[in-house]
């Protein structure tokens, strides 16, 4: 991932970028990793799961949506789930869950820092990072690692 010269917030909010959208961190554009097939498949399955639960639990899932954590700070989780109320076009209220799925070139330390930013944004936001490798899925929730094998393998087949 690379860091690019900064632009004003208003220009960022009205910009599109080739490939994957970029995050805006205090005046600097930050490139995100290009997802692979497993990344995309996992993201689609998670969104589908939360869509099924949408009406019964008042959930509002979204994928790759720019979120304003504070003035000058826009992060883009791979998936997010809002609860009770549908957010605006650029959410500035915290989701219930913010999910980042690790691509092969992602650094775990950078993803953990991002998850901690979500937690700092609101104490109730749960940050998940998901790594898919070697026949199992490892879910890091709030930087406490737990593993799920059978159900995750079933989901990925």
Q: Compute CA distances 64 → 61, 75, 110, 122, whole Å.
A: 10, 9, 17, 19
Element (H, E) at 107: none
CB 29 within 8 A of CB 51: no
Say what the pLDDT of residue 21 is: 94
Say what the pLDDT of residue 14 is: 93
Say what the pLDDT of residue 2 is: 60
Nearest to 156 by CA among 27, 73, 40: 40
CB atoms within 10 A of CB 122: 14
Say what the pLDDT of residue 34 is: 86
Say what the pLDDT of residue 155 is: 44
Say what the pLDDT of residue 151 is: 37
Say what the pLDDT of residue 72 is: 94
Percent of the chain with pLDDT over 90: 46
CB 105 within 8 A of CB 1: yes
> Which parts of the chain register pLDDT below 70?
1-5, 123-127, 129-157
Query: What residues does each domain of the chain span?
Result: 35-156
| 28-52 residue pLDDT tens | 999 998 888 888 998 999 999 999 9
CATH of domain 35-156: 3.90.1570.10
């Amino acid at each position: 991932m690379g860091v690019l010269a900064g632009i004003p917030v208003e220009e960022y909010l009205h910009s599109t970028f080739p490939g994957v959208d970029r995050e805006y961190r205090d005046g600097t554009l930050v490139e995100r990793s290009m997802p692979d097939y497993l990344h995309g498949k996992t993201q689609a399955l998670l969104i589908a799961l939360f869509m099924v639960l949408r009406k019964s639990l008042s959930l509002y899932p979204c994928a790759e949506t720019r979120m304003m954590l504070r003035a000058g700070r826009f992060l883009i989780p791979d998936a997010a789930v809002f609860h009770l109320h549908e957010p605006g076009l650029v959410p500035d209220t915290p989701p219930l869950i913010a999910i980042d799925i690790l691509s092969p070139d992602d650094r775990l330390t950078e993803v953990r820092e991002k998850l901690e930013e979500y937690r700092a944004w609101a104490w109730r936001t749960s940050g998940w990072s998901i790594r898919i490798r070697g026949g199992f899925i490892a879910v890091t929730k709030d930087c406490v690692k737990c593993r799920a094998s059978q159900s995750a393998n079933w989901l990925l087949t």
